[in-house]
Amino acid sequence: MRRREMLGFPVALACGSAVLTGCGTTQQASSAAKPTPAPSQEEAPEVPVTPPEDLMREHGVLKRILLIYREGIRRINAGEQVPAQPLHAGAGIIRTFIEEYHEQLEERYVFPRLVKAGKLTDTVSVLVQQHQRGRVLTGRILDATAQPTPQQARRGLVADLAAFIGMYEPHEAREDTVVFPAMRDVIPPKEFTEMAETFEDEEHRRFGAAGFTGIVGQVADIEKTLGIYDLNQFTPRV
């Protein structure tokens, strides 16, 4: 079942000692009647995913790829072989999931509503410019990692990876803490619900039934290849 679908349940209307079970039909409630069983876990209604939550969890994918980029920088600076294939795979997810999907949702559904309402106009202008610069950097990273990276290209690759990280860390932080919360101020509740459905439909149209979960699995596979999947390895010794 799709994650935002809500299941409907029949409701019995009680009036004194009678229970209305049909149109114009009244039956006396039996004192020995068994209580109505609670809906099973499969029948329980799902909690809808709101548009800001959708966008923020997609930022989680972005953050994990920034960690992949950091590992690439660490290895190159340590004189190790460039992990071209994992970096290329990570940049591919940035291109298809972040730039061509996530950012398109922002530019089509979020930013125009804020600008129309006169809210965060300067911030939106910078965010759009950063989207454009990010696409240039992603293109260069994809080109540099499409095959084993030659020695003379290592420095440029490190610079592009670092520039992407340096821009998108504050970019996503500002969106999560300022832009996405402001959506509730400019989008009516009914349209908010419709937007959630639009986001989900587009996600599954582009990425199939697995959608977001499938993308997270791809990121995890890259992390495992680089040996940075185990969360505990990031816990400091104190």
Q: Report, as an integer, the average pLDDT of 84-110.
A: 98
Whether 85 has a pLDDT exceeding 50, the answer reads: yes
DSSP character at residue 233: G
Note the pLDDT tens digit of each residue in 168-214: 999 999 999 999 999 999 999 889 889 999 999 999 999 999 999 99
Determine the pLDDT at residue 6: 38
| CA 171 – CA 188 distance, rounded (Å) | 26
Whether 84 has a pLDDT exceeding 80, the answer reads: yes
Whether 119 has a pLDDT exceeding 70, the answer reads: yes
Whether 31 has a pLDDT exceeding 90, the answer reads: no
Rounded alpha-carbon distances, angstroms, from residue 159 to 46, 52, 74: 44, 32, 12
Where would I find the H helices in the chain? 51-77, 84-93, 103-105, 111-116, 121-145, 154-174, 180-186, 189-207, 211-226
| CA 172 – CA 61 distance, rounded (Å) | 11
The percent of residues above 70 in pLDDT, for the chain, comes to 80
Residue environment code for 128-160, b if the CB has 16+ CB neighbours within 10 A, otherwise e: eebbeebeebbebbbebbeeebeeeeeeebbeb
Its pTM stands at 0.81
Return all residues near 211 (Cβ < 8 A) that are at least 6 apart: 200, 203, 204
The percent of residues above 90 in pLDDT, for the chain, comes to 75
CATH number for the domain formed by residue range(s) 51-228: 1.20.120.520
Does residue 60 contact residue 200 with C-beta atoms inside 8 Å?
A: no
More confident residue, 39 or 110: 110
Pairing state of beta strands 18-22 and 13-15? antiparallel
